[in-house]
């Protein structure tokens, strides 16, 4: 591990200087699009631009745009001439990684949040005073932002890893990378759970049917139990992990993002031409 704060700052400065025009234009374009969309909602919705809509929009666009931004953070590794110059620069992989981390995990979400609230604040003023819709201005005081941001932060390490891994069509490939494991995982989860339930079926009292209902890995397994000759609805049971064991799996889950961060670092360190 080789880290110098001085080089980290130099690299950060360079990141801004080289991409300055791109960033400024990006922010301007984003603000423009947001304003157009928000004014449209405020003027055309029956109740203007509502608090819940502001919150939903924020959570969704935040996640989407941060992922887009994340896939572009190692753009200079994409073309051969820029790649040579980037790799020959005397910085360590850890410094490069730290700059990317700071940009993607911290700076972009903060900047986007500010831009969003600036726009939504402006629209809210118009909404309330001109269009007379009594809507509250959403300022991270809703119910879903914690959950959305947590999911985002858990996804971003994978995005960062993909940004190093894929040189071309990074965004498309990243989206596939994010979706495919989820699909595969949920498929296997239900198949495995069904196998577990079917396995247990022979031990059921005579006439009683067990069938699989739902499950979340490392958390619970819901089973529907149908008893014959009883005129009631089938009952469902949740098989839960004991609370004392749950944290082990939570910890395991929390380590996955760090694993991806580490993989991204390794991948960055062994970049060749």
Partner 1 sequence: MISLQHLHFAYNKAVPILQDVNLELSPGRIYGLLGKNGVGKSSLMYNMCGLLFPSSGSCSVLGHTPSRRDPAFLQQVCLLPEDFEMPAMSIDQYIRLYAPFYPAFSSDAFEGHLQTFGIPRQQSLPALSHGQQKKVLISFTLATNARLILMDEPTNGLDVPSKRQFRKVIAGSLREDQSIVISTHQVKDLDSLIDEVLILEDHRIILQEAISSITEKLSFRQVMSLEETEAPIYSEGALKGYAVVAVNRKAEQSRMDMEMFFNAVMTEKEKILPLFNR
Q: Print the binding letters for residues 142-181 with partner 1: x by CB under 8 A, - otherwise.
A: ----------------------------------------
Task: Quote the CA–CA distance of 83 and 87 in Å, as a whole number.
Answer: 6
- DSSP-derived letter for residue 78 is S
The yes or no reply on residue 79 touching partner 1 (CB under 8 A) is yes
The yes or no reply on residue 1 touching partner 1 (CB under 8 A) is no
The yes or no reply on residue 13 touching partner 1 (CB under 8 A) is yes
The yes or no reply on residue 61 touching partner 1 (CB under 8 A) is no
Q: Which residue has the tokens 């958390």?
A: 219
Looking at 61, 92, 189, 211, which residue binds partner 1 (CB under 8 A)? 92
Beta bridge partners of 210: 225
Task: Quote the CA–CA distance of 112 and 68 in Å, as a whole number.
Answer: 12
Nearer of residues 7 and 41 to partner 1, judged by Cβ: 7
Looking at 1, 17, 183, 251, which residue binds partner 1 (CB under 8 A)? 17
Q: How many CB atoms lie within 10 A of CB 9?
A: 12
Is the four-CA dihedral 273, 7, 152, 73 of positive or negative sign? Answer: negative
The yes or no reply on residue 2 touching partner 1 (CB under 8 A) is yes
141: left (phi over 0), alpha (psi -120 to 50) or beta: alpha
Looking at 1, 44, 46, 88, which residue binds partner 1 (CB under 8 A)? 88
* Cα angle value 206/207/210 (rounded, 5°): 100
Nearer of residues 231 and 272 to partner 1, judged by Cβ: 272
User: Least CB distance from residue 78 to partner 1, whole Å?
Assistant: 12
Looking at 36, 84, 200, 253, which residue binds partner 1 (CB under 8 A)? 84
The yes or no reply on residue 80 touching partner 1 (CB under 8 A) is yes
63: left (phi over 0), alpha (psi -120 to 50) or beta: alpha
Using the CB atoms, write b or e for 51-60: b if 16+ within 10 Å: bebbbebbbe
Say if CB 61 and CB 254 are below 8 A apart. Answer: no
Q: Print the binding letters for residues 252-271 with partner 1: x by CB under 8 A, - otherwise.
A: -----------------xx-
- Helices and strands per DSSP (H, E), number in the chain: 8, 3
The yes or no reply on residue 14 touching partner 1 (CB under 8 A) is yes
User: Least CB distance from residue 192 to partner 1, whole Å?
Assistant: 39
Q: Where on the chain is the footprint of partner 1 (CB under 8 A)? A: 2, 4, 7, 10, 13-14, 17-18, 21, 79-82, 84-85, 87-93, 95, 269-270, 272-273
């Amino acid at each position: 591990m080789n880290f110098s704060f001085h080089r980290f700052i130099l690299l950060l400065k360079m990141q801004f200087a080289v991409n300055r025009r791109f960033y400024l234009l990006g922010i301007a374009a984003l603000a423009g699009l947001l304003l157009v969309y928000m004014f449209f909602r405020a003027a055309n919705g029956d109740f203007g631009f509502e608090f819940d809509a502001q919150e939903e929009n924020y959570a969704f666009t935040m996640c989407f745009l941060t992922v887009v931004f994340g896939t572009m953070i190692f753009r200079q590794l994409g073309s051969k001439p820029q790649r040579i110059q980037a790799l020959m620069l005397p910085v360590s992989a850890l410094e490069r990684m730290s700059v990317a981390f700071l940009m993607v995990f911290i700076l972009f979400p903060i900047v986007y949040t500010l831009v969003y609230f600036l726009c939504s604040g402006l629209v809210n003023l118009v909404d309330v005073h001109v269009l007379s819709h009594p809507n509250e201005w959403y300022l991270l005081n809703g119910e879903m932002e914690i959950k959305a941001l947590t999911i985002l932060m858990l996804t971003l390490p994978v995005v960062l890893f993909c940004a190093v891994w894929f040189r071309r069509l990074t965004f498309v490939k990243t989206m596939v990378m994010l979706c495919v494991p989820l699909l595969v995982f949920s498929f296997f989860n239900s198949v495995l759970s069904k196998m577990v339930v079917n396995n247990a079926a022979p031990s059921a009292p005579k006439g009683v049917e067990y069938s699989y209902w739902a499950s979340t890995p490392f958390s619970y397994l819901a089973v529907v139990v149908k008893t014959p000759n009883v005129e009631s609805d089938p009952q469902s049971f949740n098989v839960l992990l004991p609370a004392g064991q749950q944290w082990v799996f939570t910890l395991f889950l929390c380590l996955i993002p760090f694993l991806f961060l580490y993989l991204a670092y390794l991948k960055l360190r062994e970049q060749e031409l």
